[in-house]
A and B are shown apart, each in its own frame.
Chain A
Amino acid sequence: MERTRNFLPLAGLLVCLVGFLSYFFVFYQFPVTRDLPWVSWLLFALGLGLVVIGVRRPFRQPERYRGRRLGPVLALLSLFVVGFFVFATTVASRQLPASAGAPKVGQQVPDFVLPDSAGRPVRLYDLLGAKAGGSGPASWVVLIFYRGYW
């Protein structure tokens, strides 16, 4: 009997790749799918499930399915994709400096002047107002530092 091609390990690897790439190109933009990468985890579970079935098939039914050598190779590649994702989102993204000297609750923040996106200089204490020794009405300020797009 002619043996069939065993496409499941390749399909599993592709699903894992979609799970990996979609996080960085799509789901990273939305806090609900970025903070906890659950969409990628679901796709990895599906992809690895396909891989497991696909790797076992040619050994259990050698008369029906091919791919006893290629299956395990694709399985290893799938594991590598998933492993790299887990590393990137749990270990690598936590590599941050201690920032021991950053302003703490109750401390006075240092004043500064920086240009805005139109090049106009903006002084922090002028935004806070008279109580901080700046010009203008008293106001609270949410100061956000972000990584930027460089």
Chain B
Amino acid sequence: MAVSVDPPAVTQKHLTKTGWTYTFLADPEAKVVRLYDLQHDVGGGKIISRPAELLIDPTGTVRWVDLTDDFRVRTRPETVLGVFDRLAGGAR
């Protein structure tokens, strides 16, 4: 599940283009981004989210997190899947 400050219409356009089907949430006022202390002021009064990935278990506990130190470099899907297989023991 992904969160950004994009309004739903922008995200819908992007999903139509890419064909991605997982859940994308809209946080245009960066409320949840701030709640998670991931806000990044990019100037001009615009607050966006820094890239961040969290793996959360069914009790709501963070089991793995990646706050990249370079916004060009993001977690790759196979990394998260590898961590999940290790932590959840094949519960997928």
Contact = CB atoms under 8 A, between A and B. Distances in A.
Given A99-B38, A102-B65, A145 B52 contact: yes
A99 to B, nearest CB: 5
Given A102-B65, A117-B11, A118-B12, A35 B73 contact: yes
Interface in A108-150: 108-112, 114-119, 122, 124-125, 127-129, 131-133, 138-150
Contacts of A148: 4-6, 10, 48-49
A145 B6 CA distance: 11
A118 to B, nearest CB: 7
B1 to A, nearest CB: 6
A131 B80 CA distance: 22
B15 A112 contact: no
Chain A interface, DSSP helix/strand/loop, else mixed: loop
A131 B59 CA distance: 5
A28 B57 CA distance: 32
Contacts of B56: 109, 124, 128, 140-143
A96 interface: yes
B67 to A, nearest CB: 6
Nearest to B27: A114
A94 B38 contact: no
Interface in B8-48: 8, 10-12, 14-15, 23-27, 31-33, 35-41, 46, 48
B8 A119 contact: yes
A149 B49 CA distance: 11
A147 B4 contact: yes
Contacts of B12: 117-118
Minimum-distance CB pairs A-B, first 6: A148-B4, A101-B37, A138-B58, A114-B25, A132-B60, A148-B6
Interface of A: 28, 31, 34-35, 89, 93-94, 96-97, 99-112, 114-119, 122, 124-125, 127-129, 131-133, 138-150
